Amino acid sequence: MRGLSLEYLGSTALTWYDLLAFAKLVQAEPSSALAKELHGPAWSIEAQLTAIVADHLAVANWQRAGRKSAPKPKRIPRPWEKPKSTILGKGAIPISQFTDWWDSRKSKRSRRRAKKPPTE
């Protein structure tokens, strides 16, 4: 930034527009720390194509093996994809609500098991 520090920000030497232009320039450069922090690690086109080819080869080999017990191969994780996770609820519930829920489940199960009277 032309050897200027942020104490010059807002003056004619370093305007807010200059700072914005600098931030956009640094963000657009994939190897900069700011771009890596904002957008995550970047893969080259070659790396992306190699991962796709490897994924397809793994699935093709798995299909040709013909073993039903063999687990399906997992994809190579991409750094920009968030891992899938299972979330069961948002937090703890009060014991009174849990007791009501548990009792309602028990009554539903007992109704399912109860024999219906014969019809004529």
| Banded model confidence at residue 105, pLDDT cuts 50, 70, 90 | confident
In a domain, 90, yes or no: no
- Whether residue 49 is found in the same domain as residue 69: yes
Q: Which domain holds residue 49?
A: 43-78
In a domain, 97, yes or no: no
In a domain, 63, yes or no: yes
In a domain, 83, yes or no: no
Total domain count for the chain? 2
How does pLDDT run across 52-92, given as a tens digit for each residue?
999 999 999 999 998 888 899 999 998 878 777 777 777 78
pLDDT at 11 over 90: no
In a domain, 32, yes or no: yes
Per-residue DSSP letters for 30-93? TTSHHHHHHH-PPPPHHHHHHHHHHHHHHHHHHHHH--TTSPPPPPPPPTTSPPP-----SS--
Higher per-residue pLDDT: 105 or 18: 18
pLDDT at 120 over 60: no
